[in-house]
Amino acid sequence: MSPPLTLPLLPLPSWLSAAQTAAHVRSMQAIANAVNPASSTVNCGNIIDAVIARETGTNPNAAAPAGTDGSFTDIENRHHTTLTWGSNFQAAFNAVQGGGPGTMAIVGIGYSGGTGSMANQNGTVGIIEGQDWGAGNPREVITDAARADARYNSDGGSNIGWGIVGSNP
C-alpha cells in the first residue's frame, strides 16, 4: 500500500483560515461530484453550465447531460466572456483570486477542446473538474496551477485560454 499523497501547502490570505479553505474545497468537491451523474467524458461545456448554475445559486441541483456541448464560441456566448488564448493556468488563478469572492472563469484547454470552470469561493480558488479520467485524474477541485498543468498540460503542448464569466456583455 502506498503512503498518502503529500499535497503542497498553499499560501493563504491572512484573513482566510485553513479550516475555511478546507470547507470551501469540500463545498466545491461536492459540486464536482454531483454535476456529471452520467460520468461522461465528452460533456465539459455542459459541466461548466452546471457548475456555474450551482455556484451562483441559479440552480443548486444543476447536472450536465452526457454528450457534446458546443464550440468554444458557443460556451463564450452562453457565459458572456471571451477566452484569451496563449496564456497559462497561473494567470487564470491570479485573475480569479484578484477578482475576489464570487469571481468565476472559464478555462479552455486547446489540446482537444476541453474546458473547465474556475471559481473563487470566499477566497478559495479552484477549477471544479466534474470528469473522472481514470487513474490519477478523478473528479476533483484543482487549487493550484501546478496540478492544473499536470492534469491538462503534462507535455506542455496545450494552448491555455481563459475568460472571466460575465466580462463580455
DSSP summary character for residue 6 = P
Per-residue pLDDT at 70? 79
Q: How distant is the alpha carbon of residue 39 from its chain centre? A: 17
Give the pLDDT band of residue 9 (cuts 50, 70, 90).
very low
Mean pLDDT calculated for residue range 118-125: 92
Q: What domains does the chain contain, in order, with CATH numbers? A: 18-164 (3.90.70)
Task: Report the C-alpha gap between 68 and 81 in whole angstroms.
Answer: 20
Task: Report the C-alpha gap between 122 and 138 in whole angstroms.
Answer: 24
Percent of the chain with pLDDT over 90: 69
Dihedral (CA of 49, 52, 56, 57) sign: positive
User: Are 159 and 83 a contacting pair, CB within 8 Å?
Assistant: no
Give the pLDDT band of residue 58 (cuts 50, 70, 90).
very high
Per-residue pLDDT at 15? 46
Q: First vs last Cα of the chain: how many Å apart?
A: 52
Dihedral (CA of 65, 54, 34, 131) sign: positive
Q: How distant is the alpha carbon of residue 168 from its chain centre? A: 19
Per-residue pLDDT at 6? 44
pLDDT tens digits for 30-51? 999 999 999 999 999 999 999 9
pLDDT tens digits for 65-107? 998 777 889 999 999 999 999 999 999 999 999 999 999 999 9
Per-residue pLDDT at 113? 53
